[in-house]
Structure 1
Amino acid sequence: MKIVEYDSRSPEEAVALDELLLLKAEAGGLGETLRLWSAEDHFVVIGRAAGVSEDCFPGRCRRSGVKIIRRISGGHAVLQGPGCFNYSAVLSYERDGRYKDVRQSYRRILEGISDAFKVAGLDVEFFPVSDLALDGKKISGNAQARKRKYFLHHGTFLFDFDLDRISFYLRHPSTEPEYRRGRAHGDFLANIPVTAGELEDTIKKVFLPSPAAWKPDRTDLEELREIVTRKYSRDAWNYAF
């Protein structure tokens, strides 16, 4: 597994890079990767089939200059920005037979992360299908996109986030896990009391990457910008539903 060394230059690139890594792995040119990143500016990322107006407040986003970008994985909207730590792992089904089953893959990955935090003294719990919570409050959401040989698993961790912003830009989701029990964002979400560096160390321990790194070359960057131009910068994609 390689660590990705590239700082995205825009929200569109940040979202598009996950797709590029999955496509390159599937094509046989890269293999497994682990990407760790955070955003300096706020923007909303919505799921592959989510309705923009159902998941967020597009008018508020527009007036605040908060971009709305659609990702290739499913799930509900996420507000990115300072204090939100992100990880993206492109994994081969050959790594673990349970990865071929969607629910089992979530359990395998997220229980591994949960166990790593427990070792550090934090009682982080896995709540199916794709949440991690501390003291009953969600600290991490996760989603996947799948190809024939590889799949993308990416997730967020709130650690120093302005939680009030979430209710301003994101609606209450149309579906929710049982443990949420109808709670509003402000009562349901929480920051995990660790630093970005501690999150990075924990995620690295879980996925056990080799010391190798991957930096995009000129051809890779051309492919990335082509994806941004063709898809992630276009309303036809971001506002498709």
Structure 2
Amino acid sequence: MHGEYKIPGGKLVVVDLEVQDGRIAGFRLAGDFFLEPDTALHDIDRAVEGLPAEADVATIAAAIRAALPPGAQLLGFTPEAVGTAVRRALVTASGWRAFDWQLVHEPPVSARMNLALDEVLTTRVGDGRRAPTLRIWEWNTSAVVIGSFQSYRNEVDPEGAVRHGFDVVRRISGGGAMLMAANAIITYSLYVPASLVAGMTFADSYAFLDDWVLEALRSLGIEATYQPLNDIASPLGKIGGAAQKRLANGGVLHHATLSYDMDGQVMTEVLRIGREKLSDKGTTSAQKRVDPLRRQTGLSREAIIARLEETFVRRYGAVRGTISPDEYADAEALVASKFATDAWLHRVP
């Protein structure tokens, strides 16, 4: 069995192993990491050898730490990364290049249609009817998108939303509210099969699926890092956040919103959570918590999206794709039956 795990912002960890009588055998670790002393590589191999095949990441990491000699230095990887690679080998996880990726960037649709498309395309990837896909959102009306489990009345100021022209909609993934002002954010969705993130914890899968974004932002001179659980940040503040939904058929939705520009005053008048988070952090304005890409780069939103697309294509060989008429039709039906209904919007009052 063979498993690989590219640590976000770090090195590649590769493991090869067998399972004999329910235990790991013939274990070998490799990768482009750094390790001192050299002999510690054999210590790691011996630590994993003989562990139960059902050992989780924490158990594997603990065994490795116990076996390392005093003063050993692991650079670019961790014992947990080895454990993740082992789990991915044992569940036959797939790498990015195992798939034929599509990149979709189509004309604007409503926020509700964007949300419906997320569900439709994730379902189709899970069913095997669509290739794994990266989709860049475009929208034609401003909206507040609240998380699946958020309370409408706790998160949104309805009067503020109406005053500033924001529709309010609810998505299928968890997490916090997104303020989708026109030309002020960059949102993308990844629709992937579960095998791509097999063997990973939820926390690890967030950073894994957004690693290409960090590379793209760094190529623009932004010191982008991933802050667990789901934030992309710079030294001066948060750039964006991600959310996930995993469907029973094996489709995984991972989508993220990056701040391109913002009006902190509007945010605090439309979102109640904006006020609470700001007071909790002891800051006096939204601008001090968020570090928009426009301020950092001076580039247009379109130029930043182009760099994101270029990076994804180069790393994973994606080709341009489209959303089919029947996929749009399914999404329109889902808007009518779900995303445009009060029952869905107020499912958590």
* TM-score normalised by L of structure 2: 0.62
Report the Cα offset of residue 2 of structure 1.
Answer: 1.1
Q: Is the 8 A contact 1:5 1:215 kept in 2?
A: no
Cα distance in structure 1, aligned partners of 2:270 and 2:276: 17
1:65/1:147 CA distance change after superposition, 3 Å: same
Q: Which residue of 1 aligns with 2:152?
A: 52
Q: Which residue of 2 aligns with 1:114?
A: 214
1:127/1:174 CA distance change after superposition, 3 Å: farther
Report the Cα offset of residue 208 of structure 1.
Answer: 2.7
Report the Cα offset of residue 136 of structure 1.
Answer: 3.2
Larger RCO (alpha carbons 8 Å, 6+ apart): 1
Query: One-letter code of the match for 2:221?
Result: G
Is 2:333 aligned against 1:233? no
Identity %: 24
Cα distance in structure 2, aligned partners of 1:25 and 1:93: 10
Q: Which residue of 1 aligns with 2:286?
A: 185
Q: Which residue of 2 aligns with 1:152?
A: 253
1:90/1:162 CA distance change after superposition, 3 Å: same
Report the Cα offset of residue 182 of structure 1.
Answer: 4.4
* TM-score normalised by L of structure 1: 0.87
Give matches, 1:60-79, under 5 Å: 60-79=160-179
Q: Is the 8 A contact 1:34 1:209 kept in 2?
A: no
SS state at 1:189 partner: coil
Query: One-letter code of the match for 2:175?
Result: G
Q: Which residue of 1 aligns with 2:180?
A: 80
Unpaired runs of 5+ residues, structure 1, are none
Report the Cα offset of residue 27 of structure 1.
Answer: 2.0
Once the two structures are superposed, what CA deviation does each residue of 1:181-207 show, in whole Å capped at 9, x if it has no partner? 343533211211343233323333146
Q: Which residue of 2 aligns with 1:211?
A: 319
Query: One-letter code of the match for 2:329?
Result: E
Report the Cα offset of residue 10 of structure 1.
Answer: 1.9
Q: CA RMSD in A?
A: 2.3
SS state at 1:73 partner: coil
Match of 1:224 among 331, 345, 349: 331
Q: Which residue of 2 aligns with 1:101?
A: 201
Give matches, 1:105-144, under 5 Å: 105-144=205-244
Cα distance in structure 1, aligned partners of 2:347 and 2:197: 35
Query: One-letter code of the match for 2:307?
Result: T
Report the Cα offset of residue 175 of structure 1.
Answer: 8.9
User: Rg: which structure is higher?
Assistant: 2
Unpaired runs of 5+ residues, structure 2, are 1-100
Which stretch has the larger CA shift, 130-139 or 161-170? 161-170
